[in-house]
Structure 1
Amino acid sequence: MSSFQGIWVPVVTPFHDGAIDFIGLRRLVSHLLEKHVAGIMVCTTTGEAASLSREEQLAVLDAVLQLVPAQRVVMGLAGNNQRELLQFQSEILKRAVAGLLVPAPSYIRPSQAGLEAFFRTVADASSVPVILYDIPYRTGVTFEQAILLNIVKHTRIVAIKDCGGNLATTLALLASGDVEVLCGEDLQIFNALCLGATGAIAASAHVHTEDFVALYQQVRDNQLSEARATFFRLMPLINTLFMEPNPSPVKAALAMQGLIASELRAPMQTASTGVIERLQQVSMRGV
C-alpha cells in the first residue's frame, strides 16, 4: 500500500496582479510544513489548476518541490483531452513526486467502459502512484460501484480522494482493502477517519492547520472523545470556508493572516463581505 496518510493540503495558488505569486506560495507552503501536514497537493481544484496554463502548473510544482520533500508532494493531473493529458503526465514525471491526483475527464461524460479505459491508460503510463479523484459534481460522471471497485484494483492506483457522496460506495472501498481512502469532503473527515479512511485532502486545513492534524492524530490514537470535540470546534470554520466557491473563502482567510493576497483568476471572484465578516468570527481564534 501507499503512504498517503494524514492531512494533505491541496494548496491554493496565490496571485498578484494576475501572475503567480511565488513568494506568497513559498511563504504559505513553509507555514503549512511548520504545522506538520502530511503533504502538499499541487494544482488541484483548490489550486485553481483549470485557470493555469500547463507551463504555469509545472512552475508551481517546481517551486513547491524546492521546499517540500518529493515523497510529500502530489501533483494534480486533470483534463478531457487524453492525448494532451498523457503528454503533460510525461512532463510531470520528469520530476520526483509522490503521486498524481487524477479525476475523471470532465464535461465529456464518458461511459463506464470509457472511465475504466481512461484510468487504466493513465495508471499504465505512470511511474508513480495514482490517487483517483472521485468528484461527480465537478466532472459530471458518476462511477458505478462495481466499476470503481474494479478500477482501483490496478496496482498503480493506490488511493482515492472520496468526494463521491455515496456512503455505500465509500464503505465498499474501505472494505475492499484494495485502496486507501482519503476523505475529500471536509465535513465528513471525522466520520471517514473513524470508519477507516487513512487521511484527508482538506482545503479547510489551510486554516487552523494544527487542529486538523490533531484531529487525525486523535482518531489514529483512538482518542475519539477528544477527536469529536476537535471536529465540532472546526465545524463552523469548515462551513464558512464553503459558503462560496472554493478557494475564494480560503484565500480570504489566508489574506487575513497576511500569508497571501485574496486574488483569484476570473471567473472566480473574491469572497463577499458577508463571508469575510463570518471568517473574522470563526477563523481568527488564536491568530
Structure 2
Amino acid sequence: MSDFSGIWIPLITPFADDAVDHAALRALVSRYADAGVAGLVALGTTGEPATLDAAEQDAVLATILDAAQAHANATDAQRRPLPVLVGVSGNHTASMRARIEQLNPLPIAGVLIAAPYYTRPAQDGIVAHFSALADASAHPVVLYDIPQRTGVRLELDTLLTLAAHPRIQAIKDCAGSLDTTLALIRDGRLQVLAGNDIEVFSTLCAGGSGAIAASAHWRPERFVALYQALTEGRLDEGRRIFHALVPQIQLAFAEPNPAPVKALLAAVGWVRNELRLPMTRASEALTERLAALGETPLR
C-alpha cells in the first residue's frame, strides 16, 4: 500500500501556444523532487483535466511518470521515483470504472476520486459509487471531499463506511468541517490530507498525515520544512514557517485556482501564463502582487 503522508503537489498543466508544454512539465517534476516533496498529483483539478482531451491526459500522465523515474535514475540508481497520484473525475460510474481499469497496469501510487459532480446523489449512492471504483482499482484510492466543486458533501457516516474498504486509504479533506477532520483523524483508518491549504497547519497539529497543496508549487521546500517541523514536534518553528507562508497561500487562492499559481510561476520564468477556457488568467492586479511575492525573500 502507498503512504500518503507528507506534502503532495497537485501539478498544474503548463501550456505553450495552447498545447501542453511537456518540457516545462518535466522541469517542474524535477524541481519538486529536488525540494523533497512526498509525491505529486497528476490530473487533479489544479491540472485543468476538464480542458484536456483523453490523449492529452494520457500524455501528461506519461510525462510525469517518466520524469519522476528519470529524476530518480539520475540521482540514485536505487532510489524510487517520486510517487504519483492520478485524479479520476466524472459522474458516470461505469465510465470512471473503465478509466481506472486503464490505469491499473501503470506504476502509480493511487487514484484520487471526488464525489460525482452535478448529479448530487444520495449518500447511499455515493457509497456504492466509490465502492465500485475501489473494487475495480488495483491501486489505493484517495477520496476527495470537495463539495464546493461537486455540489455534494461526503458525510461523516459515509466516510467511515468507506474507510472499511481495503483499498480506500486516504482522503483529501476540502469540506471545511473541523468536526469531520478530527473524527477521521481519531478514527485512524484513513490518512487525512489537508486539501484547503490554509488548513495545513491545523490539520498537521491535530494529527493529520499531510497535505495536497496547490500553493506549494512555489517555495515547496518551505512546505516540506513545515511538515517536518510539526511531525517532529518543533511547534514554534512550524508556526513561524506557516505564518511566513500564509500570504503566499492567500494569494494562491485569491482568484480561481490555478490562475494565481500559473501567474506566479510565469513571473519567475518556470512556465507560460496560459490557461484554457473557461479558466482565464489572473487579473493584472493580482499578477503584480504575485510577481512581487516571487521576488520577496521568505522571512
- Tell whether the 8 Å contact from 1:71 to 1:98 is kept in structure 2 after alignment: no
Q: Secondary structure at the match of 1:12?
A: coil
Q: Report percent identity of matched pairs.
A: 47
Question: Which of 51-60 and 210-219 deviates more?
Answer: 51-60
Cα shift at 1:188: 0.6
**Could you tell me which residue of structure 2 aligns to residue 10 of structure 1?**
10
Q: Which consecutive segments of 4 or more residues in structure 1 shift more than 3 A?
A: none
Structure 1's unaligned 5+ residue stretches are none
Contact 1:237/1:283 (<8 A) preserved: no
How many Å apart are 1:18 and its aligned residue? 1.2
CA drift at 1:96: 1.1
Aligned partners of 2:10 and 2:46 also within 8 Å: yes
Q: 1:75 Cα shift?
A: 0.5
Matches of 1:104 and 1:53, distance apart in 2: 21
Contact 1:162–1:184, Cα closer than 8 Å, also in 2: yes
Instruction: Find 2:136's aligned residue among 125, 145, 160.
Output: 125
Aligned residue in 2 for 1:90: 101
Partner of 1:215: 226
Following TM superposition, by how much is the alpha carbon of 1:143 offset from its aligned partner in structure 2, in angstroms?
2.0
Does the CA contact (< 8 Å) of 1:153 and 1:179 recur in 2? no
Q: TM-score, normalised by structure 1?
A: 0.97
In 2, the alpha carbon distance for the partners of 1:200 and 1:133 equals 12
Query: What residue is the counterpart of 1:109 in the other structure?
Result: 120
Q: Where does structure 2 lack aligned partners over 5 or more consecutive residues?
A: 70-80
Alignment of 1:156-195 (within 5 A): 156-195=167-206
SS at match of 2:124: helix
| Aligned mates of 1:92, 1:57 — CA distance in 2 | 12
Q: In 1, Cα distance between the equivalents of 2:32 and 2:296?
A: 17
Q: Which moved more, 1:28-37 or 1:261-270?
A: 28-37
Corresponding residue of 2:58: 58
The one of 267, 274, 282 equivalent to 1:256 is: 267
Q: Which residue of 1 aligns with 2:41?
A: 41
TM-score if structure 2 supplies the norm length?
0.93
* Aligned-partner Cα distance in 2 for 1:9–1:144: 26
How far apart are residue 254 of structure 1 and its match?
A: 0.6
The CA deviation string for residues 50-80 of structure 1, in whole angstroms up to 9 with x for no partner, is: 1111221111111111121466111101111
Query: How large is the Cα RMSD of the aligned pairs?
Result: 1.3
Match of 2:290 in 1: 279
Q: Is the 8 A contact 1:71 1:97 kept in 2?
A: no
Amino acid paired to 2:226: L
Stretch of structure 1 that moved more, 261-270 or 1-10:
1-10
Q: Distance in 1 between matches of 2:5 and 2:120?
A: 30
Decide whether the 8 Å contact of 2:2 with 2:110 is kept in 1.
Answer: no
| Counterpart position of 2:91 | 80
In the aligned structure 1, how far is the partner of 2:26 from the partner of 2:9?
A: 14
Displacement of 1:225 after TM fit?
0.2
1:280, CA displacement in angstroms?
2.5
Match of 1:170, SS state, is: helix
